């Protein structure tokens, strides 16, 4: 099931940008009516010559980004794919939480400093990094191709027709695309930039070297290796763990550098003064609302399906749940037939569904 286009545009404004910049890049204030993102309904439509220029114009990008986009056939499509990837992963990782990553019409969260905001920034930049690296190796971009980092027999791998995911290109492009890191006076912007890099790092640490043996019956006379990104699900899982252990930060002025720094409370066992957050930690500034009732941050949990044993009490916020029965089909009376398949009948069984009360 594909999310409605409006969702995708909401997520696009998260593309790993410092908060203050995000509004400028995409012209979003979080209050506007979201218009559908053109082209989303025809994801498989081949891009004809010049079509990507049009796609770049439709994205709300800064002038410099628009130039980069126009110079880079395949980029606009990759941006769009990345939005889908990030959004679907967010919805999967939060499917059992009170906030289930439904952004439709509720972009208020993007302007705050919640843990959920931190996750959105990280998963968006991770999706973009991942999608670009894959787009290179899949031949969907004109300006990049397979990973060709030295020291990895990748030339040899190339000869064998194995194409490595080009993470080097994608991270380099991304940092250029997002612009130089300015020392920001704004704590929110610092935190967003930090969380953006947590996302990129998560993709990087999932890069694996995969090798394959060739030769008579696995003698491995010739071995080719290439770099391969782990499935995005694993990156999403890693980021969800970071969300669970996110660190609340405040700001402190670094006297020596004369600029604002993120400051985390001391961890147990370390000196009692504050510390800079570790590069892999997601950081947030504000405690989240409960997400129980509809607000500008979430639709609330009324109507959510829950599991009576596990999640109903917390998901329904103490309001209780309704129970409905429905008929579910399942395979039954299965028999092995000669030769060689299993034949089953369809049986119906009553099943109880629990949903949170209003
Ligand atoms: C999230 O929960 C709301 C109800 O609170 C529901 O309408 C929506 O479909 C859910 N979204 C996803 C992606 O599961």
pLDDT at 157: 57
What pLDDT score was predicted for residue 37? 28
State the number of CA atoms in the 13 A half-sphere of 253 facing the CB. Answer: 4
Joined together, the tokens standing for residue 248 give 């609340």
What's the token pair of residue 204?
């990087």
* Residue bearing the CA closest to ligand 1, atom 5: 301
Q: For residues 249 and 100, give the distance between their C-alpha atoms in angstroms, rounded to a whole number.
A: 24
What mean pLDDT comes out for the span 11-23? 36
Q: For residue 348, how far is its CA from the centre of ligand 1 (angstroms)?
A: 27
Query: To the nearest whole number, what is the mean pLDDT of the chain?
Result: 78
Beta bridge partners of 353: 324
Using CB distances shorter than 6 Å, the residues near ligand 1 are 91, 100, 102, 299-301, 303-304
Residue 100 Cα to ligand 1 midpoint, Å, equals 6
Atom of ligand 1 minimally distant from the CA of 302? 5
**In terms of DSSP H, where are the helices of 95-231?**
115-137, 154-159, 167-178, 187-205
| Res. 248 pLDDT band, cuts 50 70 90 | very high
- The residues, any chain, with a CB within 8 Å of residue 201's CB and separated by 6 or more, are 279, 280
Q: pLDDT band for 153, please (50, 70, 90 cuts).
A: low
Q: Percent of the chain, pLDDT > 90?
A: 39
Separation of CA 217 and ligand 1 centre (Å): 52
Residue by residue, what is the 3-state secondary structure of 71-126?
A: HCCCHHHHHHHHHHHHHHHHHHHCCCCCCCCCCCCCHHHHHCCCHHHHHHHHHHHH
pLDDT at 74: 84
* 226-230 contacts, C-beta under 8 A, 24 or more apart: 226/146, 226/147, 226/152, 226/154, 226/157, 226/162, 226/163, 226/164, 227/147, 227/149, 227/152, 227/154, 227/164, 227/165, 227/167, 228/164, 228/165, 229/130, 229/133, 229/134, 229/165, 229/167, 229/203, 230/206
**pLDDT tens, 45-99?**
444 556 777 778 777 677 888 888 888 888 888 888 898 899 999 999 999 999 9
pLDDT band of residue 289 (cuts 50, 70, 90) is very high
How many angstroms does the Cα of residue 301 sit away from the middle of ligand 1? 8
Q: Which position has the token pair 């990345």?
A: 82
pLDDT of residue 356: 96
Cβ count within 10 A of residue 97? 17
Give the pLDDT confidence score for residue 50 in this predicted structure. Answer: 66
pLDDT (0 to 100) of residue 10: 36
pTM, rounded to two decimals: 0.78
């Amino acid at each position: 099931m594909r999310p409605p286009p409006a969702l995708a545009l909401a997520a696009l404004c998260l593309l790993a940008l410092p908060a203050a910049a995000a509004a400028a890049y995409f012209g979003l204030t979080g209050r506007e009516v979201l218009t559908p993102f053109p082209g989303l309904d025809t994801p498989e439509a081949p891009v004809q010559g010049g079509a990507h220029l049009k796609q770049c114009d439709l994205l709300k990008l800064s002038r410099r980004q628009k130039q980069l986009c126009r110079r880079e056939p395949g980029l606009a499509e990759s941006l769009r794919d990345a939005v889908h990837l990030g959004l679907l992963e967010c919805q999967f990782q939060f499917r059992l939480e009170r906030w289930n990553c439904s952004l439709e019409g509720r972009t208020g969260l993007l302007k705050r400093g919640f843990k959920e905001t931190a996750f959105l920034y990280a998963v968006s930049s991770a999706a973009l990094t991942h999608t670009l690296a894959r787009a290179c190796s899949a031949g969907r971009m004109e300006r990049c191709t397979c990973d060709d980092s030295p020291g990895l027999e990748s030339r040899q791998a190339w000869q064998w027709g194995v194409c490595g995911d080009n993470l080097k290109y994608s991270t380099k492009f991304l940092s250029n695309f997002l612009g130089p890191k300015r020392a920001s006076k704004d704590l929110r912007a610092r935190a967003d930039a930090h969380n953006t890099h947590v996302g990129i790092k998560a993709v990087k640490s999932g890069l694996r070297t995969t090798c394959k043996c060739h030769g008579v019956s696995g003698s491995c006379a010739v071995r080719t290796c290439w770099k391969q990104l782990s499935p995005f699900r694993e990156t999403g899982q890693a980021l969800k763990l970071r969300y669970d252990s996110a660190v609340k930060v405040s700001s402190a002025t670094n006297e020596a550098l004369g600029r604002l720094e993120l400051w985390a409370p001391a961890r147990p066992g370390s000196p009692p003064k504050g510390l800079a957050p570790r590069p892999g930690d997601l950081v947030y500034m504000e405690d989240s609302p409960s997400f129980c009732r509809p607000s500008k941050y979430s639709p609330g949990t009324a109507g959510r399906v829950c599991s009576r044993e596990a999640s109903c009490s917390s998901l329904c916020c103490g309001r209780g749940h309704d129970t409905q029965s429905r008929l579910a089909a399942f395979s039954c009376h299965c028999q092995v037939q000669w030769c060689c398949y299993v034949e089953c009948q369809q049986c119906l069984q009553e099943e109880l569904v629990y949903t949170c009360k209003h």
